[in-house]
Structures are given as C-alpha cells and as structure tokens.
Chain A
Amino acid sequence: MPLLDIVDLRASYGSRTVLERISLCVEKGEIVSLIGPSGSGKSTLLRVLLGLLPLEQGIVRFNGRVVDYADKAAVSALRADIAIVFQQYNLFQNMTVLDNVMITPSKIRRWPREEALRHATELLARVGLSQKLDAYPDELSGGQQQRVAIVRALALRPKILLLDEITAALDPELVTEVQETIRDLSADGMTMLIVSHEMGFVREVSSRVVFMAEGRIVEAGAPQQIFDAPLEARTREFVGKIPRHPAPAGHQP
C-alpha cells in the first residue's frame, strides 16, 4: 500500500486550471522528485496535498485513507503527518531557532513542554545547529535558516516531507550544506516528495522522477530513464537543456 496515493487530481486558481489528471503514488521510504518548467504546477501540487489550496477534483489517499479536506480534524491530522519546507524558509521572524521548532509541538499540538524541548534540541543537534538555539532567523545564513526550517518540519515526526525548491534561494556552498541534510534524512529512510531544479541532486537521490509540464504529468520513471532516455518529446526537450558538464575554468561565454 503506498503511503501517498493521488488519483486524478485537479486544481485551479479561479477559472484557470493549474493541475489536471495528476495521478501519482509515493511508497514508504521512497524519494520522488517533481521536475519541470516553472509554472508547471509542481509547487501547487504540494500545496494542494497539504490543504493550503483547494482540491477541485480527485482523490488523495494517505496511509490508505481518503483525505477529506473539508474535515478540519482530518486536515489537522494530515498536517502532522505531512510537512513542508518552503523555498524562502518562512521561519517565524519573531522567534528564536528553538522556538521556531518547538512552537508547533508545544503550543499547537500540546505536547508536554519537556518532550517538545528534548525532541527539538535533538533534531537541531543532528543538523549541527546546537550553538544557534537562541539565535533569531535573521542572524543566520540562508543555509542555516533552511536547516532550521527542515527541522521545524520534522518536529512532529511526519511520515512524509515535501520540499519545495528548498535550495533555490541559496548560493552553491549553502546548497551543498542543505543537500547534505537531505541525504542524511534519506539514509534514515525518510519519505520525501521533492520539487527541485537541481538536476544533479535529483538524479542522485531520487527513487523516481516525475516530469511535469502545463499542469500535467508528462512522464515518470527511474532517474536514468527520465534523464538519459526519456520517452516523451516534451521531456527530451526539457532535459536536453540541462547542462551536462560544467564549463571549463576561466571560460566565459
């Protein structure tokens, strides 16, 4: 039984349909990456899954149960099991690193404070931020902020993590730092649904890659298939534009 099973999903912004006939499943422990041009609906899909945008049509099954997005309790339970990390980190600017991680378990989910604190400090130690517990987000580098955001998403022990272009706002050094954290999570068997334009990283970590364009899934398959031998012309066109080799040093176009 897949952990996440999406069947024939459709979503719109007003009268404009942005996702259509999306069917996708994610098995436990799998890392599925969504790639495709900007505006193809990848981020929208993540938001619909969390109930941040309305699901117009289709079925989302999580852990074998159909999610009823009109049911507040069901959505609340879903948001404990599915967590998202945003491109711009979206850390709460008025809270310290520790409070950013602790607030959801302690204030929203009413865990005992000690347990929330212990869990938060453990998670922050794992990503090497034990020295920064009392820092505010604007005192951290982008990479550090993004690692805090990842930890904040992990605070409720979610079953699946959605990553929405989490390295797109970072410089190359910081990208490596954040990718390292994702590799660690992957080694721990974390299930992830990733939206990314970092094709090298996608190829390396993904169990499956899904290519999307104009709100639809064009092609899905193993990374080798999508990147080396795509079946669809639209996929070929997209992956054909990925630079294969870094330009030689000193060469300026």
Chain B
Amino acid sequence: MTYYDLRLLLDGFLTTLILALLGGLAGCVIGFAAALLRNTDSRAMAPVRAALFVYCLVFRRVPFLVTLMLIFFASQSMQANLSTFAVAAISLALIAAAYLCEIIRGGLASVHANQWQAARALNFGYWQTLRYVIVPQAWRVILPPTFGFLVMFIKDTALASQIGVMDLTSAGKVLENKGMSAPLVYGTILMLYFLMSYPLSRLGKRVESRHAVTRHR
C-alpha cells in the first residue's frame, strides 16, 4: 500500500464525513424549521403547510439514488455547474430534512395539548410556547429516532459514489480496481464507516439519558 493509496482512503473518509455532517446538520436545521412551520394553525400559513407536507411526503418515499440522479440532472439541465459533491450534499440535506421534519413534528405533537392550553391562557404567543414549553418537552421524544436516523444516514452517503463523488466507498472501488484484495479493501472501508457512526451512537445514548427523565403526564 502506497502513500497515495492511504491518501485516497483518508480523502474518501473525510469526504464521507463532511457529506454526512453537512447533510445531517442542514437536514436538522431545515427539518426543525419545517416542523415548526407545519405545526402552525393560522389560515395564512396553510399554503406553506401544504407545500411542506408534499415535500415530506415525496422525499421520504423516493429512493435516495433517484433523488440524487434527479438533482444531478436538474442541475445539469439548468447549467448550474454544481460539483458532484455539491449535488450529493444538496440531495442529502433534502432527504434528511424530510425525515427529520417528520420525527420532530411527531415529537412536538407528543407534548400534551393541555400545555398549549395553559400557555395560551397565560398569553404566551406561538413561538414563546414552543420555546419555553413545547420544545424542551419534545426533545425526549425527538432524540432517539433522530440519532437512529443519522446513523443510518451516514451509510446512505455511500450512494454519492454513484454520481462520481470520491467518497469512502469510491476510494474502496478504486483500490480494488488497482488489484488489491477485495476483502482487505472493503474490510478496511467497513472499519472506517464503523469508526464514523459508532461515536454518534454513543453520543446519542449520552444525550438521551440526560433527557430520559419523564416530565410529562
């Protein structure tokens, strides 16, 4: 194994890591915002709610690879000149946002309606109620499936290799094509993926246990 092979692996590892981080973080932020907007009940927000509903509906049902191709060819036909990395990052963010939106929305809905009622009687506004009362209680329900999703999500970034992003999976293919033993190469790749997602699981466990106390009736 040469220096360049190692370099290839390391770059692939970093590319996958950054893709997952970007997609995951953007997904969390967009998904959270989308969930808060979908949770509104004013008539003026109805079109926004409908649009977000359709967005979540579609992106959670289309295979990731199809989304990736769609964004890829859409960006080409618009002559957007996006790098394959950017296409992959955007696709990942869109998908993560759709999934996380549903998870977060479910968490918000799990907080008892009497909490909204009490807040309203005390003249809390919508955003004040969310900030002081609902979101702090929803974490407990939101966190476990979120970490579950993110762990899965790291593996799914491997599909970015299909449009030519030099991620960890692509690096594996290149090394294998160079004649290296496939079990050795993919064994190493496996270890590296594990290395990325295991700390996330551990973090998830810790954060969850901090929020595990039931403060709900």
Contact = CB atoms under 8 A, between A and B. Distances in A.
A108 B137 contact: no
A107 B132 contact: yes
Interface residues of B, number: 20
Given A93-B115, A103-B132, A52 B215 contact: no
A52 B120 contact: yes
Interface of B: 112, 114-115, 117-124, 128, 132-133, 136-137, 214-217
Nearest to A79: B123
Contacts of B118: 86, 90-92
A136 B123 contact: no
Contacts of A104: 122-124
14 contacts: A75-B123, A76-B123, A80-B123, A86-B118, A88-B217, A90-B115, A92-B119, A93-B215, A93-B217, A94-B133, A94-B137, A108-B124, A137-B217, A138-B216
A174 B27 CA distance: 48
Report which residue of B120, B121, B136 has the largest number of chain A beta carbons within 10 angstroms of its beta carbon: B121
A84 B118 CA distance: 9
Report which residue of B118, B137, B214 has the largest number of chain A beta carbons within 10 angstroms of its beta carbon: B118
A192 interface: no
A120 to B, nearest CB: 14
Contact of B114 (A88, A94, A107): A88
A76 B123 CA distance: 6
Report which residue of A52, A86, A94 has the largest number of chain B beta carbons within 10 angstroms of its beta carbon: A94
B132 to A, nearest CB: 6
A209 interface: no
A98 to B, nearest CB: 14
A80 B122 CA distance: 8
Contacts of B123: 75-76, 79-80, 104, 108
Interface string A181-211: 0000000000000000000000000000000
Interface of A: 50, 52, 75-76, 79-80, 83-84, 86, 88, 90-95, 103-104, 107-108, 136-138, 152
B207 to A, nearest CB: 16
Given A92-B133, A94-B133, A138 B214 contact: yes
Nearest to A51: B120
A145 to B, nearest CB: 9
Closest 3 CB pairs of A and B: A90-B118, A79-B123, A94-B136
A136 B137 CA distance: 13
Contacts of B132: 92, 95, 103, 107
B128 A108 contact: yes
Contacts of A108: 122-124, 128
A79 B112 CA distance: 22
Given A92-B133, A107-B128, A107-B132, A52 B117 contact: yes
A90 B117 contact: yes
B121 A52 contact: yes
A137 B216 CA distance: 9
A137 B137 CA distance: 13
Contacts of A83: 121-122
A84 B121 contact: yes
Given A107-B132, A138-B215, A138-B217, A90 B114 contact: yes
Nearest to B124: A108
B121 A79 contact: yes
A75 B124 CA distance: 11
Nearest to A94: B136
Contacts of A76: 123
Nearest to A91: B118
Nearest to A100: B118
